[in-house]
Every structure is written in structure tokens, then in C-alpha cells.
Amino acid sequence: MCSSIVKYAVLDVDGVVVKYRSSWQYIHEILGCKDIADMHREAAFRKLINYKDWAFIDTFLWRGYSRDSIKMKFDDLIPGVLDLLKILKKYRVWIVMVSGGLELAYELVRDYVDLYISNSIVYRDGKVYSISVRVCSKDCIAKILENIINIDWSRTIAIGDSRIDIPILARARYSIAFNPLDDEVGKVAKFVVYSLDMYPVVNIVKAILDKTL
């Protein structure tokens, strides 16, 4: 089955695919280094350090921990996400996931995703060593998608939850704010959903693909 209306679906990851609003904070909490990481975040917000420096000093807190110690589980996915991905694949929609966070969720969704763009942890001998920073803003991601896959925004569904998703939500023909963190996100999106699971979004997407919305 193929949808003539929608060719691409662009999904944010943190807070949309997984329950955690920040994959960085997820790791800080499970490794017990949140207090120090909060000082790094404050320095970044005060513009005392740039995004890349922030990423590197945060990652240094995890150095030496094993890959398994920071691994996400299927329980960390928002309920209904896999159902959404299965419907998109059924309609032959090209699925893109973009995150300013980390690639922790990739292993959980790799069977469905065509393109996954995020920052990546660098491992050495199975332990955290450094970070590869690819994503500093969603505006830069939007331009990457335009350059790499020549994305047609008029045939795109986008799902996000925060201000940094606005550049993508604003470009897409069908935009869904899922549990938006502030009013600006809801104002940009065509649909706003507040839910503990993804099933209301599944219904909206299914209606779009069936051309009833």
C-alpha cells in the first residue's frame, strides 16, 4: 500500500519516541552524575561554553562505563510508537528520526527507520570514550534533509515536542505537537496531542494516509 499524499515522516526522538525528554539526562540519572551535569548545562545556557564543548564535558562524566550500562530497553519506548512505525511502513512512507540527543533509541527502532540522525557516543573496547557531535540544531537538520534526500516538505508528516523541533514542524505539511513543552510548539503544529501513549497520533496519521484528513 502506498500513500500519494505522504512520502516522508520526520520524528523527534526524546519525548516522542522514548519516554525521556533528554537522552543526556537519562544517562546522567542512571549513572548518578546529574548534579555535576546540571552545572555544565547552566554554563551552556549562560553561553560560557558552546554546544560541542558542553557535549564533550558531559560525555567525559560517562567515560569508562560499558555500553550495556547505558542501554535503553523496549519499555523505554512510548507505548504505541512501534504501531505508528508499522503503519508508516505499510504505506511505504520513508521514516526519518532526528535528535539533538543521542542514538540510544536506534537499536530499538532500527527495523523500521530509513534514516536516523543524532549525536553518537564513541566507544573504545566496549566502553564510553568520547562523543561524535553531528546535531547542534533542528534548523541544521532540516537543511541536511533538504540536501541529502531532497525532502519534499509538502509530502511530509513531522512530529515533535519542543522549541527545537519548530524548524521541522513549520516546514512540514502535516505537523503534530506531541505533549508540547510550551505554547509556541502548539501554535506551529497543525495538530496538538496530549497523551501518555502514541495511539491518538496513530489515528491522526492513519487518517492522513487514508486521505480522510
Does 49 reside within a domain? no
Look at the chain and report how many structural domains it folds into. Answer: 1
Each residue's pLDDT, cut to its tens digit, for the chain (213 residues) gives 666 689 999 999 999 999 998 899 899 999 999 999 999 989 988 989 888 888 899 999 999 999 999 988 999 999 999 999 999 999 999 999 998 888 999 999 999 999 999 889 999 999 999 999 877 665 677 888 888 889 999 999 999 999 889 999 999 999 999 999 989 999 999 999 999 999 999 999 999 999 866
CATH of the domain at 199: 3.40.50.1000
Does 57 reside within a domain? no
Does 99 reside within a domain? yes
Does 151 reside within a domain? yes
The range of the structural domain enclosing residue 174 comes to 8-24+71-209
Does 192 reside within a domain? yes
Does 42 reside within a domain? no
Does 41 reside within a domain? no
Beta strand ranges found along the chain (DSSP E): 8-12, 94-102, 115-124, 127-132, 156-160, 174-178, 191-193
Does 55 reside within a domain? no
